[in-house]
Structure 1
Amino acid sequence: MNQPTPLSTQYVIYYRVSTKRQGDSGLGLDAQRAYVEHFYQGCPILAQFTDVQSGKNVLNRPELMKALALCHQQRATLVVAKIDRLSRNTEQALAIYRKLKGRLESCDIPNLDKFTLTLFMAIADRERELIGIRTKGALVEKVKRFGQWRTGSEAFASGQAARLGHTTIKAQAAENHHSRPASAMIKELRQQGYSWSEIARQLNTGGFKTPKGGSYQAVQVQRLYQRIL
């Protein structure tokens, strides 16, 4: 579990959605709020900021600039629901981490430090490239098959899907927040040639926990890796 720093610490929450449509409907934003509410309930929160901007350039996000300024003034800790909401660019994320002097927490990365931030940002950076490739390919295929994009369902249009999604995410947060970040690290370390035992040791050192809250063993690492193949 991602452990917030002591209660004497004050927090500034930052949310980001990629499009105006997401900002208006709450899609994406509700999910981020669910994670933050789960992990930071009862914690002293100074302010919350939301940008409706892409993640390409942090300098184009006025609300993030306000959040960083407040953190600097109050020596507060910046909190994001997922690290890719801060940035998908490794260099930009590390620059923010240095600017905050390490006062950065993300619900999807337990015990965030420079090592885990660098690793996860590299993964997010690569995912940004892959999303572009997949989106372009999917659009071409859908146009070939259907002639145009299919319209959204009634539940999507009415906002019911967003509300149901928020409820589901909140209910599953405690279960999934362990496996998802651990899976990303396992995949990355395995590609670098680490053994199952070595990966388990890295996870435990980094503060990662199994879905039941225990420490990782080599066999659990291997099973989790096989699930994400």
Structure 2
Amino acid sequence: MATTYISYLRVSTDRQGAAGLGIEAQREAVQRYVACVGGNLLAEHVEVETGRSATRPILLQSIAQCRRDRAVLLIARLDRLARSVSFIASLIDSGVEFVAVDNPAANKPMLQMLAVFGEYERDQIAARTKAALSAAKARGVVLGANGKVLAASHKAAAETFAETLRGPVQEAFENGAKTLKDVAWHLNEAGLTTSQGSRWSPQSTHRIVHRLGLRTAAMTA
């Protein structure tokens, strides 16, 4: 009889979750494993959570379904499950069988050891980062300065671009434009594009009109 699996996929941030970053690679690894062993993938659970978090509602749902359906919890990589030794230990104590695709032959003691090394690596990275930041600060480096310079550069470029459109935007108003859609139509008719080379929309037009300080309060899309 084929083994039934419940897969658990995890990404660390909302941004990654929205973009699907990391999920597809995990899903493919899980599907390859299930096909290789001739198993049956009953369900898939996806969670957006940090590795440090001790509360994972989707993981708990996955475990509960494994118990209910007598399934094996399947993950692509051990570090997707947790980097906490105590967390791995508590999962093992729950009695639910689970398999890490990147090391399917690992027994319980080996999984605990892998978790130990993962937790150690995480702590070492955090310590090195903290030491590097402290050393940079001691040398007089203003942390975040590059980001401020880059933001100022982007702002200056946006203001310069907006000024090139002051004449066409004012001309649109003089020709009867009442809404942002009207202004966008005039800019598109003039063959002008956004800084990204796209056609004008009410949203992109609003940013330019606002930056130029022209009639933003009473205008609508």
Report the TM-score when normalising by structure 2: 0.57
The size of the alignment, in residue pairs, is 143
| Equivalent residue for 1:77, pick from 72, 75, 80 | 72
Distance 1:95 1:145 in 2: 40
Residue pair 1:16, 1:86 contacting (<8 A) in 2 also: yes
Gaps of 5+ in 1: 1-6, 152-229
Distance 1:78 1:86 in 2: 11
Describe the SS at the equivalent of 1:92: helix
Q: Would you say 1:125 and 2:111 are equivalent positions?
A: no
The equivalent residue for 1:116 is 110
The equivalent residue for 2:21 is 27
Q: How far did residue 21 of structure 1 move?
A: 0.7
Describe the SS at the equivalent of 1:47: strand
Identify which range, 132-141 or 122-131, moves more after superposition.
132-141
In our comparison, the structure showing a higher alpha carbon Rg is: 2
Mapping for residues 99-178 of structure 1, pairs under 5 Å: 99-101=94-96, 103-136=97-130, 147-149=145-147
Q: How far did residue 138 of structure 1 move?
A: 6.4
Query: Once the two structures are superposed, what CA deviation does each residue of 1:158-203 show, in whole Å capped at 9, x if it has no partner?
Result: xxxxxxxxxxxxxxxxxxxxxxxxxxxxxxxxxxxxxxxxxxxxxx
Gaps of 5+ in 2: 152-221
Distance 2:42 2:128 in 1: 39
> What amino acid maps onto 2:27 in structure 1?
R
Distance 1:92 1:14 in 2: 15
Distance 1:145 1:138 in 2: 11
Structure of greater relative contact order (alpha carbons < 8 Å, 6+ residues apart):
1
For the aligned residues, what is the CA RMSD? 2.7
Q: How far did residue 22 of structure 1 move?
A: 0.8
> What amino acid maps onto 2:50 in structure 1?
S
> What amino acid maps onto 2:81 in structure 1?
L
Distance 1:111 1:94 in 2: 18
Percent sequence identity over aligned pairs: 34
Q: How far did residue 136 of structure 1 move?
A: 4.3
Q: Would you say 1:63 and 2:58 are equivalent positions?
A: yes
> What amino acid maps onto 1:148 in structure 2?
N
